[in-house]
Amino acid sequence: MTTLAANLSGVRRIPRVLIDFVIGTLLCLSPLTAILVLGWMSRNMAARIDARLLGEADRPRWLLGSQDSGWFEWLFGGLAANIRSGIVTLVGLALLTLPFSALWLGAWWGGWENSFNKGYERSSIGPIVWFVGATIALPILAHLPMTLAHAASEKRFAAFFEWQRIRSAFRAAGWRVVWLALLTTVLSIPFFGMRALPVFVEELVAGFAEMLPEDQLLVAQMFNVAGAALAFTLVLFLRQRAAAIYCVAAPRAAHGRASALWEGHPASRVTPKRREPSRTMGAVWLFVSSVICFG
């Protein structure tokens, strides 16, 4: 009976998953509406973490809110929550990645300027700036999935910068952070491969060169939709994996060397199946995952 109930529950989820896929794909077509997707994914992570740590969670919706609230909140509560969560996540991500992104942009500009003006006596500036940016980026990129999971779980903007908690959860995750970094790298290949498809459009779409402009535009839009669908699917899958790893890592960290940092947190009430790895192994996993993320 338990197996049958689980199978029926899985079948009932199919329409909901398809609806989420269609809405998420369409919203990913525009940078502005993609903020809603970013917020919905953060709320989805929070729901998964709450379900594991607290035993209960509300499924995030795209538009509707809680039925227990007023009519306006019920009609637009989900939309407002997605906007709020999306903006918080976007700003948090921007503040974390802007330092090394700006340095890399400066390094690119320095290289272009050097090549254009043939000022080779300053050719070392670009590589030096790039190296400084890479040094800053390595630990941030390695910790980023755990940071997103922690911020989603806490539902606070300040959680993006709770470095001690995030580092302790990262160490407690052990080899899982390496697996997630490798999975992220592998799954990014199809997405970046999609960006190269327009180069081969005449081989992929028969008679493309002879098409009317409006028909060519339709083909281009189909490529955009396919890219949005792929991006939504891959990012959602990776976010769900990060949430699952956080559910394992947070209780370990809460009962480990950094237990004082997690006092009163729901993770402290969950008994971990295993202890957190040693400091040495934590450093090894950080190094390996950093190399994979940067590569």
Q: Which residues contact 261 (CB under 8 A, 6 or more apart)?
A: 164, 165, 168, 253
DSSP letters for 262-289: GTTSGGGGS--SSPPPPHHHHHHHHHHH
Interatomic CA distance for residues 188 and 230, integer angstroms:
10
- The band of 1, judged by pLDDT with boundaries at 50, 70 and 90, is very low
Residue 108 has pLDDT above 70, yes or no: yes
Which tens digit of pLDDT belongs to each residue from 87-97?
Answer: 999 999 999 99
> Mean pLDDT highest for which of 2-16, 83-97, 219-233?
83-97
Please state, as a whole number, how many other Cβ atoms lie within 10 Å of the Cβ of residue 295: 7
Give the global pTM: 0.85
So where are the chain's domains?
2-294
Residue 279 has pLDDT above 70, yes or no: no
Q: For residues 181 and 72, which has the higher predicted lDDT (pLDDT)?
A: 181
